[in-house]
A and B are shown apart, each in its own frame.
Chain A
């Protein structure tokens, strides 16, 4: 077929139906296939933006330096105070720090996508008016950071086992529980990320620091590196309502069954409320699913409201200086 012939055929396809009216099927698209294509395209774009700025060696160093350093800070703090007399605490902080780097990466991925596209590349308005669902595009853009965060977390745990003396027995691991906890936790992290992306749609360029700030606040109440018992009662309650707390507890309990619990223990709110010393694995997973579902519902509602407000007020193509 000649180029002219192809163009004529395309024009025929794009033109009005013979009867001259509006054909809803043409704007409906291909349903899931279109959504998947948007997601994959956004994920590939995100990966290219995330990874092709340097050579693989520097990218690897960049990916692991942050979580490993965070773990080292805590391990040194631990060694100074305990003199190496509490090895179980070492595993506790290494796993908590590793998982937390995943949380930060997951939250930052979506939030920074909004800022990247609006402030830096100024493409947000074009992405928004494209036929793709905006939320699906954002989720796709966040995949790269989640992958990098996941790799960083794995390597941090490996460094902990190989170099920092964390004792680990693969045969003792509760693999099914670990898989469920990881999957449900990923969902909860994405939900929190959507919530922050909704906030950032309303704020200015300086919001680059918001993901870390929010993660820092959640870090306090999630029992990532210390048991919740040291927190005042109201903060322990906030921690019990946060899916990250249950996620970290679930993963930790699956990796080191019977190890230190961040939720339970003497003087904990958990003990006061339930009478049990620590939650069992099933309770932990149920709590993770319940809190994760609540956060997901809230995040979706807030995102849609934020999207509407951004559209009303012209925030989608507004760039700000600093």
Chain B
């Protein structure tokens, strides 16, 4: 690339003083380089089709059958399907965003990341983009198959708002993932166990299979802090317009604003925590400590 062509400089300091174009090109290459294995990996490893699409679809189906056994209204089945599709993103965030730097540390790659002349924020951004592509395929398949098999009918009146909610939910979710990734930078085996801890409890407080309004104060707290909770609630209201669910949560327009605020706050926190915790991890020698 032209921006990286050798240019004579008077000192190492001058050589290290990159132009905005060099910075931009490096950032783009970093994003592309980190997103690439996630997207390509989907094509190379066929077993994921079975383990990451079919089996999670069956798990979602289990909750559909719970509602069927209870003779619940059909909208609840649709809500389970929607939640089942969205779990793909949450699992991707906690397993392949939050924990990723921990995995890299275990594999001995993390020090290479930090030694390379690139922004670690861009590495995380690349991971997020690759992860979104990867999870979207799973989510779309689960959504289409489950909708067809269980005869779910959506009633959408505001497509634009629904798409905006979806995109903002992903932005906030992956921003949250970047915050967790920087925290996990400091941790050893705790990271793996905390990832475990972030699954079912978050499903519960986010109202994955039921309207979160039913949880009262806990639900309100989740709406204010967990992107999955607020995104799912907004999507439920928009995808099943006019259906009577338990009430108590803000309208989707307000939830969009909450998601925007979450996205901005999480990205800002991620940038700050990454810088602080990277410095701390360097000082305490944790970047290259493995298996603890």
Within 8 A of A (CB), among B10-33: none
Residues of A within 8 A of B203 (CB): 69, 73
Which listed residue (A69, A93, A319) contacts B107, Cβ 8 A?
A319
- A210 CB–B CB distance under 8 Å: yes
A34 to B227, CA, bound (A): 52
Which listed residue (B72, B106, B189) contacts A81, Cβ 8 A?
B72
Residues of B within 8 A of A208 (CB): 95
Residues of B within 8 A of A86 (CB): 70
Closest residue of B by beta carbon distance from A49: B189
Which listed residue (A49, A53, A120, A216) contacts B59, Cβ 8 A?
A216
Q: Assign chain A's interface to a size class.
A: 35 or more
- A227 CB–B CB distance under 8 Å: yes
- A219 CB–B CB distance under 8 Å: yes
Beta-carbon contacts of A26-61 to B below 8 Å, as 1s and 0s?
000000000000000000000001000110000001
Nearest CB of A to B11, in Å:
38
Beta-carbon contact of B189 and A77 below 8 Å: no
Nearest CB of A to B42, in Å:
11
Beta-carbon contact of A77 and B58 below 8 Å: no
A62 to B67, CA, bound (A): 28
Residues of B within 8 A of A73 (CB): 200, 203-204, 208-210
Beta-carbon contact of A62 and B65 below 8 Å: no
Nearest CB of B to A206, in Å:
7
- A225 CB–B CB distance under 8 Å: yes
Task: Please list the residues of chain A having a beta carbon within 8 angstroms of any beta carbon in chain B.
Answer: 49, 53-54, 61-62, 65-67, 69-70, 72-74, 76-82, 86, 89, 93, 119-121, 203-204, 206-210, 213-214, 216-217, 219-220, 224-227, 229-231, 319, 321-322
Identify the 4 closest CB pairs spanning chains A and B, nearest first: A216-B59, A213-B55, A69-B200, A226-B69
Beta-carbon contact of A70 and B59 below 8 Å: no
Closest residue of A by beta carbon distance from B80: A77
Given A62-B196, A227-B69: A209 touches B51 (CB 8 Å cut-off): yes
Given A77-B66, A226-B69: A66 touches B199 (CB 8 Å cut-off): yes
Residues of A within 8 A of B61 (CB): 220
Nearest CB of A to B65, in Å:
5
A81 to B214, CA, bound (A): 11
Closest residue of A by beta carbon distance from B199: A66
Beta-carbon contact of B70 and A82 below 8 Å: yes
Within 8 A of A (CB), among B81-120: 91, 95-96, 103, 106-107, 109
Nearest CB of B to A310, in Å:
15
Beta-carbon contacts of B42-81 to A below 8 Å, as 1s and 0s?
0001011001101110110111011111111000100000
6 residue pairs of the A-B complex, CB under 8 angstroms, read: A53-B188, A53-B190, A69-B204, A70-B200, A77-B70, A81-B71
Nearest CB of B to A112, in Å:
9
Within 8 A of A (CB), among B180-203: 188-190, 193, 196-197, 199-201, 203
New A-B pairs, 4, CB < 8 Å, besides A77-B209, A80-B211, A82-B70 = A61-B197, A72-B204, A209-B91, A220-B59
Which listed residue (A74, A81, A203, A224) contacts B76, Cβ 8 A?
A81
Beta-carbon contact of A230 and B65 below 8 Å: yes
Which listed residue (A66, A210, A224, A230) contacts B196, Cβ 8 A?
A66
Beta-carbon contact of B200 and A62 below 8 Å: no
- B37 CB–A CB distance under 8 Å: yes
Given A62-B197, A73-B208, A217-B59: A225 touches B214 (CB 8 Å cut-off): no
A70 to B200, CA, bound (A): 6
- B39 CB–A CB distance under 8 Å: no
Centre residue among B41, B51, B61 by max chain A CB count within 10 A: B51
Residues of A within 8 A of B67 (CB): 77, 81
Nearest CB of A to B102, in Å:
10
Closest residue of B by beta carbon distance from A213: B55
Beta-carbon contact of A230 and B199 below 8 Å: no
Beta-carbon contact of A65 and B66 below 8 Å: no
Nearest CB of A to B36, in Å:
12
Given A77-B210, A220-B59, A225-B66: A53 touches B193 (CB 8 Å cut-off): yes
A49 to B291, CA, bound (A): 10
Residues of A within 8 A of B197 (CB): 61-62, 65-66
- B289 CB–A CB distance under 8 Å: no
Beta-carbon contact of B291 and A121 below 8 Å: yes
Nearest CB of A to B127, in Å:
11
Residues of B within 8 A of A53 (CB): 188-190, 193
Beta-carbon contact of A213 and B209 below 8 Å: no
Residues of A within 8 A of B211 (CB): 80
- B281 CB–A CB distance under 8 Å: no
Which listed residue (B59, B72, B204) contacts A219, Cβ 8 A?
B59
Nearest CB of B to A118, in Å:
12
Residues of A within 8 A of B76 (CB): 80-81
Residues of A within 8 A of B56 (CB): 213, 216
A220 to B150, CA, bound (A): 15
Nearest CB of B to A37, in Å:
24
Closest residue of B by beta carbon distance from A320: B45
Residues of B within 8 A of A204 (CB): 45, 47
Beta-carbon contacts of B169-182 to A below 8 Å, as 1s and 0s?
00000000000000
Beta-carbon contact of B193 and A321 below 8 Å: no
- B151 CB–A CB distance under 8 Å: no
